[in-house]
Structure 1
Amino acid sequence: MEAPNPLPKYVYKIIPTAPPSPIPSPYPLSLLDQKDGFVHLSTAAQIPITSDLFFTAVHQLWILKLRLSNFDASSVKWDEVEGTNGCPHLYGNFGAADVESAREFGREADKTWTETLKGNEWLE
């Protein structure tokens, strides 16, 4: 699948626990990322959907904001995933220099991640 045009400024890594402090280089890969051979990332618009699909059991999560321009275009593939315009997958890894910021998010038990994250300006 082709990369979106224009490219987003940021891509995001959702993690279920606080990131290590300081953030290391390279960042420790999740078991899923190790198994699949790439780092699963999301665009800002995909964050609520991805969170509702894969993080329904948690009420707190962290999101790392990564500057897309830090990565060589050949290392980021926009793979087709049902219901999306292509999910960014990083074939390689990232580290502290790539993380612009990290933020913790919490949701109430009766709310979805989509409801919780709607309109959040940090997700640009």
Structure 2
Amino acid sequence: MPAPSPLPTFLYKILPSAPPSPLPPRLPLSDLDRKDGYIHLSTSEQVASTADKWFDSFSELWLLKIKYDVLEAGTDGDGEVKTDNQAEIKWEEVGRGCFAHFYNGDLGSGNVKEAIKVEKTGTWADSLSLEW
């Protein structure tokens, strides 16, 4: 499945609770990411609908904001570019659209720009204003 055009500047990972601070070089995978074999990511336009579908009962979420070009380069959570079994983004069709999946890598202090706490006011769409 082709990537969106134009490509996003940022991708987001939704977390149900605060990540460690400071971020370690490698964050633990969620049960879903471990089961599926990749890290589920969303563009700014997909975060609200993903949050509504999977995190509707939560009153706050944390988002990891990740520069797309850093992940596309194969940068792992420790900040190193993996040259063997390279970490990579694949855009794949899911029932609700085309989503970014990060394979063969981790998220951490070396590839996450910042962690953002978001409190729900109304719907998640009402609560979010994210950079593409």
For the criterion TM > 0.5, the same-fold answer is: yes
CA distance in 2, matches of 1:35, 1:20: 22
Query: How far apart in 2 are the matches of 1:26 and 1:41?
Result: 16
Match of 2:127 in 1: 116
TM-score by length of 1: 0.87
1:99 is displaced (CA, Å) by: 1.1
* In structure 1, C-alpha distance between the alignment counterparts of 2:96 and 2:54, rounded to whole Å: 14
| SS in structure 2 at match of 1:57 | coil
Residue equivalent to 1:39: 39
RMSD: 1.5
- Matched position secondary structure for 2:35: helix
Question: Is the partner of 2:66 in helix, strand or coil?
Answer: strand
Partner Cα distance (1:17, 1:106) in 2? 12
**Map of 1:12 onto structure 2:** 12
Structure 2 runs not aligned, ≥5 long: 75-86
Structure 1 outlier segments of 4+, above 6 Å: none
Alignment correspondent of 2:82: none
> Which 5+ residue runs of structure 1 have no aligned equivalent?
none
> Is 1:97 paired with 2:105?
no
Residues 1:62 and 2:57 are matched in the alignment: no
Superposition deviation, residue 89 in structure 1: 0.4
- Choose the corresponding residue for 2:119, options 82, 90, 106: 106
Q: What amino acid sits opposite 1:31 in the alignment?
A: D
Q: 2:100: which partner in 1? A: 88
